[in-house]
Amino acid sequence: MSRSVSGGASSGRTANSGLPAPIVVPTINANDRIVMLAEWSRPHADEVEPGTVVATVESSKSAAEIEAPAGGRLHWAVPSGARVATGTVIGWIVGLSAAIPPVPRLGEDAGRPCTDSARRLIAELGLDMRGVPGEGLITEAMIRQLAGAPDSGVGTAAETPSDGPSEPAMRGVCPPAKPARAAPVPAFMSRSVAKGPVDAFLDARTGSAVTATDIFLKAQGIALQEFTAWKRGSGGDRIALAITTEAGLIAPAIDDPAARTLDEIARWRIAAMRHVAVGAGAVEARPPTFAFTNLAGQDIEVFVPNLFGGLSATLGLGLRKADQPEWTLCLSFDHNVSDGFYAARFLGSLAELITNPEQLDLA
C-alpha cells in the first residue's frame, strides 16, 4: 500500500515563475532515514502538471508516491534504483524552456566533496552520494546520522576527548561548545505500572469512547507540567501520538491535553485516526515534541521507542495482556533535553497518575 505526498519543499512555488521547484524525498517511516527511489513514473525531461505522480520511493515497510510540486519539465537529479536519504532533493521541476542536464548514472561520483571515512561508509550502505541531503563536505557523522548507526569511535572521536565534563576548559568565557556528535545517543529507562486501576476505571465507564491511550495522554500532559525546561524546549504543552499505519508512522499532535477532559481527548484521537485512515494525512508534530507510542495494536508487549526527528522524548506502551498485572512504560530521551533524574521523576509522577485514574476525570 502506498500514499501520495507532494514532493515540494514549499508550496505555491511554480517552475514557471522561473525558479526550479525541488522534488524532495518525504519521511515515509520515521525509522527509515534511507529509502530507495524505486522508479521515476515519468521520463526525464517530460512535461508534467502540478500534482502528477512523478516518482515512487520505498522504505523497508512501505512505499510513497511523490507528486510534482509544480508544473514544468521534470529533471531527474538522481537515477532510479538509487538509495537516498529523506529530505534529499532527487529532482527538479524546471521551466519549459530551461536546459536540462543528462540523466546521472547509478553509482557515479556526484562531485560533492566527501571525507574518506564517509565515502567508505556510503559504499558500505550502498547509498547514492547524491542522496545525502544538505550541501558542503559530507562527513562520516552525517552518514551515521542518516543510517541511524552509532558513532564508530574512529577518526576524530578516538583521537579527541569526549564531550563529557573533562572537555577543555573554556568555561567562564562562553557556553561550552556543542559536541561534534552527529546523532544524539538515545538512552531509555522503564518503569512498571499496575494496570488494574485503569481496567477498573474503564469498566466503570461503559459506553464511553475513552481508552487507556487517552488516559495516558492526559496523564503525560499533567506529569510534564512539572518540567518547565522541557516545555521551554517544546514551545508549548503539546504531545504527539504516534500511530503506526501500513503507510508508516504518523504522529498527529494534541495541544495541552492536561486541560482537556478524557472525552475530549478521545474525540480528538478518533478524529486524528480517521484522518489518517482516509489518507488525508494529519497535522504532524513539529519537533521538539513529546511523543507517545502505543504498539499494542501490533501485538508488542515491551519495546524501547525510537527517538527521532528532534523529539524531546518518547514514551512507549505495549500490549495489555489479560493475564499480566502490569504495563511496562519505556521512556527514551535525549540527554540534551532531560537527564536520567528528571526522566525517572517524570515516570514516577506518571505511574502515580495512571494508578489513580479517577483524578484525571476531575478536570
Partner 1 sequence: MNFVESLNQALRTRMSEDNRVYLLGADIGDPYGGAFKATRGLGDTFPGRLLSTPVSEAALVGMAAGMALNGLLPIVEIMFGDFLGLTFDQLLNHATKFPALYGADCRCPVVLRSPVGGGRGYGATHSQSVEKHFLGMPGLRVVALGPHSEPLSVLREVQQDREPTLIVEAKSCYGEPMRDAHYWRTRSWCHERFELGGCPATAISPVPREQCRVTVLAYGAMAVRLEPLIWRHAVERELFCEMLVLTVLNARDLRPLIERIAVTGRAITIEEGAAGWHWGAGLQDRLRQLRGFGATHFETLAARAAPIPSGLANEELAQIHDAEIHLALDRITRRP
Residue 139 lies near partner 1 (rule: CB under 8 A)? yes
- Residue 252 DSSP label: B
Residue 156 lies near partner 1 (rule: CB under 8 A)? yes
**253, 238 in Cβ contact below 8 A?**
yes
Q: Which residues are bridge partners to 191 per DSSP? A: 329
Residue 111 Cβ, how far from partner 1 at the closest point, in Å? 10
Contacting partner 1 (CB under 8 A), which of 140, 151, 214, 237?
Answer: 140
Contacting partner 1 (CB under 8 A), which of 65, 167, 263, 284?
Answer: 167
**What are phi and psi for residue 53, nearest 5 degrees?**
-70, 120
Residue 153 lies near partner 1 (rule: CB under 8 A)? no
* CB nearer partner 1, residue 155 or residue 309: 155
Residue 310 lies near partner 1 (rule: CB under 8 A)? no
- The residue among 35, 31, 46 whose CA lies nearest residue 5 is 35
Instruction: Compute the C-alpha angle 245/194/351, nearest 5°.
Output: 80
Contacting partner 1 (CB under 8 A), which of 51, 60, 100, 112?
Answer: 112
Burial code (b: 16+ CB inside 10 Å, e: under 16) for 152-182 equals eeebebeeeeeeeeeeeeeeeeeeeeeeeee
Residue 306 Cβ, how far from partner 1 at the closest point, in Å? 24
* CB nearer partner 1, residue 139 or residue 294: 139
Q: For the sheet containing 47-48, what is the strand order?
A: 21-24, 89-94, 72-76, 47-48
Q: How many residues lie near partner 1 (CB under 8 A)? A: 30
**78, 88 in Cβ contact below 8 A?**
yes
Contacting partner 1 (CB under 8 A), which of 137, 259, 270, 271?
Answer: 137
> Considering only 24-32, 165-173, 210-218, 277-285, which stretch makes contact with partner 1 by CB under 8 A?
165-173
Burial code (b: 16+ CB inside 10 Å, e: under 16) for 105-141 equals eeeeeeeeebbebbbebbeebebbbbbbbeeeebbbb
- For partner 1, the binding residues in 17-46 under the rule CB under 8 A are none
CA distance 75 to 78: 9
The radius of gyration of the chain's CA atoms, rounded to the nearest angstrom, is 23
* CB nearer partner 1, residue 152 or residue 359: 152
| Helix or strand holding residue 240 (H, E) | strand 238-245
Q: Are strands 326-334 and 63-67 parallel, antiparallel or unpaired?
A: unpaired
Residue 175 Cβ, how far from partner 1 at the closest point, in Å? 8
Q: Are strands 248-250 and 238-245 parallel, antiparallel or unpaired?
A: antiparallel
Residue 177 lies near partner 1 (rule: CB under 8 A)? yes
CA distance 224 to 189: 16
Residue 324 lies near partner 1 (rule: CB under 8 A)? no
* CB nearer partner 1, residue 32 or residue 140: 140
Residue 78 Cβ, how far from partner 1 at the closest point, in Å? 19
* CB nearer partner 1, residue 117 or residue 261: 117
> Considering only 71-79, 133-141, 224-232, 330-338, which stretch makes contact with partner 1 by CB under 8 A?
133-141
Residue 115 lies near partner 1 (rule: CB under 8 A)? yes
Residue 140 Cβ, how far from partner 1 at the closest point, in Å? 6
CA distance 340 to 334: 10
Residue 19 Cβ, how far from partner 1 at the closest point, in Å? 18
Contacting partner 1 (CB under 8 A), which of 51, 101, 161, 348?
Answer: 161
> Considering only 97-105, 131-139, 263-271, 319-327, which stretch makes contact with partner 1 by CB under 8 A?
131-139
CA distance 67 to 221: 37
Residue 170 lies near partner 1 (rule: CB under 8 A)? yes
Contacting partner 1 (CB under 8 A), which of 102, 153, 172, 207?
Answer: 172
Give the residues lining the site for partner 1 (CB under 8 A): 112-118, 135-137, 139-141, 155-156, 159-161, 166-174, 177-178, 180
